Amino acid sequence: MTPLPPAGKRVNLNWNLGWVNAAPDGFTRPLIGINGQWPCPPITLNYGDTLILSVYNGLGNESTAIHFHGLQQRNTTYADGPSWATQCPVPPGETIVYQFKATQVGTYWYHAHHAGQYIDGLRGAFIVQNQSPPYGKIDQDTTLTLTDFYHQEAPSLINYYQSAANYRATGGNEPLPDSALINEAQDVKFKMLPGQRNLFRVINMGAMAGQYLQFDGHNMTIVEVDGQYVQPYTVQQLFVAAAQRYAVIVESAADASTNYVIVASMDTKMFGDSGDPANSAVSISTEHSM
């Protein structure tokens, strides 16, 4: 029998959704931000905490809804978020309050579940900390998100994807991403010290593309998959499908004189006969040895 979670604390968040301009790969476009900022903030709870999330729809031209991906929401289905499934979408100028207890630990994410809005940026990490994880002490806990990024907004992408014109032109292929992002940016730096034991929480928040992830000169030991602890398994490369999550341990090299590269590359076999995206890989240098 699974033990009941501790009482925890109440975590109150107030979000105002609105459009902001951002250029994560150098191309400026409107994206859905929270409280005037994009990328959207992570949510971090401890096991047993209760989240009270007040969301105001300030988009002006679209309804919205938020889904908490991977959370079972037992007895709180009303807070699960998919439009027309467990809630009506929230119209512009209105507020919804999501409230539920963190009864699972691990790596999750939240995203819009309405009109393809998470393609337009409404997405972020959702982490539930375990004070006594089975993989032992960690020196640094880091979230690493992967995203396929589109310069067009979601409504036009979806309309064309479902159109007869797309079927005639490509046989119905999905739209090609324009670039790939790590932590909603390119050329990001992760600062780590020599000899550290680093936990990376890897989340693919993309719309379609799976991505291959690897750390130059380092192995990854998988300890969690989709919110479930697993027997540790060491790999050199990780394939992360859209919406999938892993937690991996990377032990930093002892040499602090070298920067190492982290590479995430989209699986171009998913793109049919449409060719490769303009930017199918992201290279990221660390500030110090990993």
Q: What is the DSSP string of 79-113?
A: GS--BTTTBPPBPTT-EEEEEEE--S-EEEEEEE-
What is the per-residue pLDDT for 89?
Answer: 97
What is the per-residue pLDDT for 205?
Answer: 97
Domain boundaries, the chain: 10-129, 140-285
Q: What is the DSSP string of 135-200?
A: T---SEEEEEEEEEE-SS-HHHHHHHHTSHHHHHHHSSPPPPPSEEEETTBSS------TT-EEEE
Phi, psi of 275 (to 5 degrees): 95, -175
The mean per-residue pLDDT over the stretch 145-158 comes to 95
268 vs 220, more confident: 220
**Could you give the CA distance from residue 251 to residue 152 in angstroms, rounded to a whole number?**
39
Buried b (16+ CB within 10 A) or exposed e, 85-116: ebbebbeeeeebebebbbbbbbbbbbbbbbbb
pLDDT in tens, 198-212: 999 999 999 999 999
Percent of the chain with pLDDT over 90: 81
For the entire predicted model, the pTM comes to 0.93
Confidence of residue 254 (pLDDT cuts 50, 70, 90): confident
pLDDT in tens, 34-63: 999 999 999 999 999 999 999 999 999 999
pLDDT at 159 over 90: yes
What is the per-residue pLDDT for 199?
Answer: 98
**Could you give the CA distance from residue 181 to residue 146 in angstroms, rounded to a whole number?**
6
The fold adopted by the segment(s) 140-285 is Immunoglobulin-like (2.60.40)
Confidence of residue 103 (pLDDT cuts 50, 70, 90): very high
Confidence of residue 115 (pLDDT cuts 50, 70, 90): very high
pLDDT in tens, 168-179: 998 988 899 999
Shortest CA distance to 244 belongs to which of 123, 143, 145?
A: 145
- Could you tell me the end-to-end alpha-carbon distance of the chain, in angstroms, rounded to an integer? 40
Phi, psi of 154 (to 5 degrees): -55, -45
Range name among 77-91, 111-125, 218-232, 249-263 with the lowest pLDDT average: 249-263
**Could you give the CA distance from residue 39 to residue 204 in angstroms, rounded to a whole number?**
15
Confidence of residue 289 (pLDDT cuts 50, 70, 90): very low
140-285 matches 10-129 in CATH topology = yes
pLDDT at 288 over 70: no
The mean per-residue pLDDT over the stretch 245-249 comes to 98
pLDDT at 287 over 60: no
**Could you give the CA distance from residue 144 to residue 42 in angstroms, rounded to a whole number?**
11
pLDDT at 281 over 50: no
The fold adopted by the segment(s) 10-129 is Immunoglobulin-like (2.60.40)
Q: Collapsing DSSP states into helix, strand and coil, what is residue 77?
A: helix
What is the per-residue pLDDT for 285?
Answer: 38
What is the per-residue pLDDT for 276?
Answer: 58
Confidence of residue 290 (pLDDT cuts 50, 70, 90): very low
